[in-house]
Amino acid sequence: MSEVTLPALGESVTEGTVTRWLKNVGDTVAIDEPLVEVSTDKVDTEIPSPFAGTLTQIMVQEDETVAVGAVLAIVGEAAAAASAEVAPSTPEEAAPVASTAPVEPEAAAPVATPPVAAAPVAPVATPPVAAAPVAPVATPPVAAAPVAPVATPPVAAAPVAPAPAPVAAAPAAPVAAAPTPPSSPAAGTGTEETASDPNYVTPIVRKLASELGIDLGTIRGSGVGGRIRKEDLTAPTSKVVPASAHTSAEASPLRGTTVPMSRLRKVLSERAVASMQQSAQLTSVVEVDVTKIAEMRQRVQAEFTQKAGTKLSFMPFFTLAAAEALAANPIINATVEDTNIVYHGSDHIAFAVDTERGLLTPVIKDAASMSIATMAKVIADMAERTRTNKLTPDELSGGTFTLTNTGSRGALFDTPVVFLPQSAILGTGVVTKRAAVVKDADGNDTIGIRSMVYLALSYDHRIIDGADASRYLMQVKSRLEAGNFEANLGI
């Protein structure tokens, strides 16, 4: 018998909750085969079996929380050995069966000649009882017996088939004939006749209206005599808002239900409340012109994707600028311990990832020393592994500052919550093009179309003042607006 214990899942992880057993008692397990799912305050993960054998006993039930090192299950080898003994005996027993099988046909041969029924009975009973009867029963009755008689003898099916056809065709002919007069000339050569008919709609316009889901009866035409033109359907001032143009979002199956919180959601809710109660949080916002970065992305995107193996988004630029500014503004990268302020000597940037299990924050270690290409690859890799639950607990620990991409879902900005023990978090809104006041070549103010983004910094007012937050934000803003990242691309 071998004991399967809860392994250490990270330096700061002391316990875990069994969320689901992947094997049942009596099941055979192999070495490193997933045995049970365990949830911690850092990550949900599968625990593989360190032994091969049979699961003989489950010691911790689902939804139970145990400490690291606790026995989760017992894996034994007895059942596996027993099954191994049964396996070789089967061929030995099968050998005499195989030898007696031909003997029975020999004895049955003379008897089977008069009663033909005896021949089928013997094979049916001896080999596969299920397979032999099913084949004859399923094939003749279903495919041959019912279909052939029904289709062949009752020739009434032939009259019946034509009967509905003419009946269906009869009403269709008059119905089609009634509305046809206006359109039949179009199908022919009567263009002169339709040109003077305000109710006439060309096939192109009718097809376009069908594709757009527009009811032509609600459109006032702008053509000669009030005829509807293609422009009337595509004009932005069209008064038609067809009902079919809007598709309601599919209702979630969670509506009207009650479900327990997952362990991760419980931890997040407890930490959020504790952070709001134990710190004094407020938010400062600045607007940043990232047009130069947008132009750079467009200019180097193809080459960057080819060499770095991932697309170039705004996120690596935001992360690098945020990390660089921490060196000159250490209070933003500090922690409160009792009555002391601990200034961190490294910039470990946690970034928020939205997953089906909840919000998780993998950590990029020493982000300020990375190139844009390295940063992009690290962000893409860690985000993917976070969503697929392949991140280690240690990769979710040690963050000194957090970045959250609020704009990934289209929001302009929000006021993110600082999670203790960190003292600040930077939210990046969606990058949008809009009119802004800029300087022309002569230094005069003018209006231009610019790529703009809001940066929102939430911080702990116990140690960070508004002036500190503003200094930090203005340094990040200056770095991004200058757009001098060519030397940092790393391609």
Which residues are the active-site residues? 461, 465
Contact in structure between 351 and 379 (CB atoms under 8 Å): yes
Closest by CA position to 72, among listed 150, 20, 140, 31: 20
What is the number of helices (H) and of strands (E) in the chain? 15, 19
Rg (CA), the chain: 37
Q: Cα(403)–Cα(338) distance, rounded to whole angstroms?
A: 25
What stretches of 397-446 show up as alpha helix (H) in DSSP? none
Q: Cα(319)–Cα(479) distance, rounded to whole angstroms?
A: 11
Q: Cα(352)–Cα(316) distance, rounded to whole angstroms?
A: 14
CA 170, 172, 177: angle at the middle one, nearest 5?
Answer: 105
Per DSSP, the residues of 342-408 read: EE-SS--EEE-EEETTEEE--EETTGGGS-HHHHHHHHHHHHHHHHTT---GGGGS--SEEEE-GGG
Q: Cα(448)–Cα(432) distance, rounded to whole angstroms?
A: 13
Closest by CA position to 49, among listed 34, 39, 28: 34
Q: Cα(61)–Cα(73) distance, rounded to whole angstroms?
A: 10
Q: Cα(78)–Cα(172) distance, rounded to whole angstroms?
A: 76
Beta bridge partners of 5: 71
CB neighbour burial string for 452-461, b if at least 16 within 10 angstroms, e if fewer:
bbbbbbbbbb
Task: Enter the DSSP assignment of 225.
Answer: G
Which tokens sit at 432? Answer: 């949008």
Q: Cα(295)–Cα(486) distance, rounded to whole angstroms?
A: 12
Q: How far is CA 362 from CA 310, 332, 416, 424, 444, in A?
A: 19, 19, 17, 16, 45
Closest by CA position to 486, among listed 324, 328, 317: 317
Beta-strand ranges (E) seen in 389-471 are 401-404, 424-428, 432-439, 445-460
Per DSSP, the residues of 9-78 read: -STT--EEEEEEESS-TT-EE-TT-EEEEEE-SS-EEEEEPSS-EEEEEE-S-TT-EEETT-EEEEEESH
Q: At what angle do helices 291-308 and 372-387 cross, to 10 degrees?
A: 70
What amino acid occupies position 44? D
